[in-house]
Amino acid sequence: MCYDAVIFDNDGVLTKPTLLEVQREAVRRAFDEFDVEPTTETVDGVINGGLTRLRRICAVHDVPVDDFWSHHETHAAATQRACLENGTKPLYDDVAALDDIDHPLAVVSNNQHATIEHILDVFDIGDRFEVAYGRDPTVEGARVKKPDPHYIERAMGELGVDSALYVGDSNVDVVAADRAGIDSAFIRRPHRDGYQLAAEPTYELDSLDELLAVC
């Protein structure tokens, strides 16, 4: 199949996923801005619960959701920047395979846009991608993250392409690609061993080295 562009998720595709305790620390720091000491259950609810649960949690603690989320995004970007610099969130070795792909490349991630900028900067790979999007640091930015196709469609518009392959490591990536009307490649990294796919990707890969044969 010939594609006009290849678009990549970041966490679990280009870099290793952010450790859960790092994500929790960002949530705790955001609550600390409002003198709230959350339980681990509350912290994990913010991380995994979606916007409806976020609003409920903020209401319980009498915290303005927009202000809380702004603080969270700032702290999440800062804690992940530290991980990038101390080696606990490394780049996968097979990212070098991107040099052999003769298509425009882009990044579309559910992570903060600031974190994506930090990754491109710390690993000096910004010149490999024509477009890079993380989520905007607002509640609205979180609302339109994957599986919503918003950022994928935005990237394709900026690239000026009609077809693309989206490479991800989760169900939300496969669903977002399908909603954007494009093909998907699911990469089964070691952290996805035994992971059950709820939607069928166009391709399943073990490594980015296999992309050249696909596109």
* pLDDT-based confidence at residue 91 (cuts at 50, 70, 90): very high
pLDDT tens, residue by residue, 9-23: 999 999 999 999 999
What per-residue confidence (pLDDT) applies to 2?
86
Question: What stretches of 33-164 show up as alpha helix (H) in DSSP?
Answer: 40-48, 50-60, 65-86, 113-122, 139-143, 150-159
pLDDT tens, residue by residue, 27-79: 999 999 999 999 999 999 999 989 999 999 999 999 999 999 999 999 999 99
* pLDDT-based confidence at residue 215 (cuts at 50, 70, 90): confident
pLDDT tens, residue by residue, 108-119: 999 999 999 999
What per-residue confidence (pLDDT) applies to 86?
96
62: left (phi over 0), alpha (psi -120 to 50) or beta: left
34, two tokens: 């409002």
What per-residue confidence (pLDDT) applies to 133?
98
Find the mean pLDDT for residues 109-133.
97
Is 205 in contact with 188 (CB distance < 8 Å)? yes
Find the mean pLDDT for residues 190-202.
95
Neighbour order of strands in the sheet with 6-8: 131-135, 105-112, 6-8, 165-168, 183-187, 203-205
Q: Report pTM.
A: 0.95
pLDDT tens, residue by residue, 148-189: 999 999 999 999 999 999 999 999 999 999 999 999 999 999
DSSP designation for 13:
T
- Assess whether pLDDT exceeds 90 at residue 24: yes
Find the mean pLDDT for residues 77-100.
97
Find the mean pLDDT for residues 84-108.
97
